[in-house]
Amino acid sequence: MQRVSLAEVTVNGNTAGRIDGGLLVLLGVGRGDTAKDAAYLASKTAGLRVFEGADGRMTKSVRDIGGSVLAISQFTLFGDVRRGLRPSFDGAADPETAECLYEEYVAQLRAAGLDVATGVFRARMRVESVNEGPVTILLDSTKLL
């Protein structure tokens, strides 16, 4: 996820989703992911304190600042290039599972009271953003302690 002052996704030249400030989330769904993973990531996304408070430290969440989330499904996050020069996407979930869990993630964010814009699942999208900070955070539900 990236802290952004602006993010927009277009499909075939038409705006599918746009936010004026908040978080751009590139969501990859892996083999073996479940609704529990979607819920964990949604909770973290809503509550993660990556925005600056009055003291200049990261003390505020996207909810605290009244920001929005632009959630984009991106299976290429599972691109494995350890062998050869072409990525393998064997770690990515099948499209049907991925779409279901992506939609669950978005629903959880909306249930938490966040304004959520989205791309179009399985579409070729153009994503533009202005990363503030820059701040980019990796969340991985498989690395729970």
Residue 118 within a domain: yes
Residue 117 within a domain: yes
Catalytic member of 15, 34, 59, 76: 76
pTM of whole model > 0.75? yes
Please report, for the domain that includes residue 9, its CATH number.
3.50.80.10
User: Residue 29's domain spans which residues?
Assistant: 2-139
Q: Helix (H, G, I), strand (E, B), or coil: what is residue 93?
A: coil
- Taking only the tens of pLDDT, the chain with its 145 residues reads 999 999 999 999 999 999 999 999 999 999 999 999 999 999 999 999 999 999 999 999 999 999 999 999 999 999 999 999 999 999 999 999 999 999 999 999 999 999 999 999 999 999 999 999 999 999 999 876 4
Asked about 74 being catalytic, the answer comes back as yes
Asked about 75 being catalytic, the answer comes back as yes
Question: Total domain count for the chain?
Answer: 1
Residue 144 within a domain: no
Residue 18 within a domain: yes
Dihedrals φ, ψ of 64, to 5°?
-60, -35
The candidate with the shortest Cα–Cα distance to 114, out of 59, 72, 69, 52, is 69
Residue 52 within a domain: yes
Asked about 51 being catalytic, the answer comes back as no
